């Protein structure tokens, strides 16, 4: 409706609960973006959520912030756990939610490993991560899975279908001559078989 002000999220004071709320917000927003996202059981992993489907899962660490920079221009977001920076390989992407601005940043993990904090929603020369603002397409691309080869193309080689191996199918005689020839061949194989078969020992009376 025209003239309606955008609802601002209510700030949850408890930091732990605020983090859990941010994770639920990420799951909801990812779903809106057409992504399949879920949260693994427990909280002992180095990531909070996964995006994707069997064959290709992407690990996501979710952070949120309400803390403004001293300059007043932008926000500072923690990128560590228990006051220690995340190590390389801890997750694939950082999803940072700037709550007062209702803005998400989807940042490749390699850009934040080893850092204790980053600055978001900044301007001028400090806008280091602005290219990752609402970059949901990165998660979409990272979790893509190649479609399995269709049954129609399962025998294809270089774009052409391979014919199934030919099997020997018996052909029945078409006329009198072929019937006579077939009978002769059968008798011949039969006699040769008797000739080659081992003789049984004669029984003694």
* Res. 35: pLDDT tops 60: yes
Domains of the chain from N-terminus onward: 15-144 (3.40.1350.10)
- What six digits make up the tokens of 33? 């973006």
Please tell me which residue, 81 or 10, carries the higher pLDDT value: 81
CA 58 from centroid of its chain's CA atoms: 7
CA 124 from centroid of its chain's CA atoms: 37
Give per-residue pLDDT as tens, 154-187: 444 444 444 554 555 455 555 656 666 766 676 6
The helix or strand, by DSSP H or E, that contains position 60, with its residue range, turns out to be strand 56-65
Residues 128-166 as b or e (16 or more Cβ within 10 Å = b):
ebeebbebbeebbebbeeeeeeeeeeeeeeeeeeeeeee
Q: Please choose, from the candidates 50, 58, 59, 61, the residue with its C-alpha nearest in 3D space to the C-alpha of residue 22.
A: 61
Burial class (CB in 10 A: 0-12, 13-18, 19+), 101: middle
- 143 DSSP assignment: T
Give per-residue pLDDT as tens, 97-140: 999 999 999 999 999 999 999 999 987 656 889 999 999 999 99
């Amino acid at each position: 409706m025209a003239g309606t002000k955008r609802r601002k999220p209510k700030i949850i004071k408890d930091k732990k609960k605020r983090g859990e709320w941010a994770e639920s917000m990420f799951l909801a927003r990812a779903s809106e973006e057409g992504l399949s996202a879920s949260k693994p059981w427990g909280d002992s992993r180095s990531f909070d959520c996964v995006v994707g489907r069997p064959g290709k899962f992407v690990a996501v660490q979710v952070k949120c912030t309400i803390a403004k920079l001293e300059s007043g221009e932008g926000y500072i977001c923690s990128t560590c756990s228990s006051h220690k920076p995340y190590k390389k390989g801890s997750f694939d992407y950082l999803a940072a939610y700037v709550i007062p601005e209702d803005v998400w940043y989807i940042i490749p993990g390699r850009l934040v490993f080893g850092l204790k904090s980053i600055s978001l929603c900044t301007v001028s020369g400090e806008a280091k991560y602005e290219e990752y603002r609402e970059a949901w397409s990165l998660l979409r691309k990272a979790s893509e899975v190649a479609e399995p080869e269709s049954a129609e193309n399962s025998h294809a080689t270089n774009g052409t279908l391979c014919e199934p191996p030919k099997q020997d199918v018996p052909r029945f005689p078409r006329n009198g001559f072929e019937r006579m020839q077939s009978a002769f061949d059968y008798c011949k194989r039969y006699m040769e078989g008797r000739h080659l078969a081992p003789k049984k020992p004669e029984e003694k009376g």
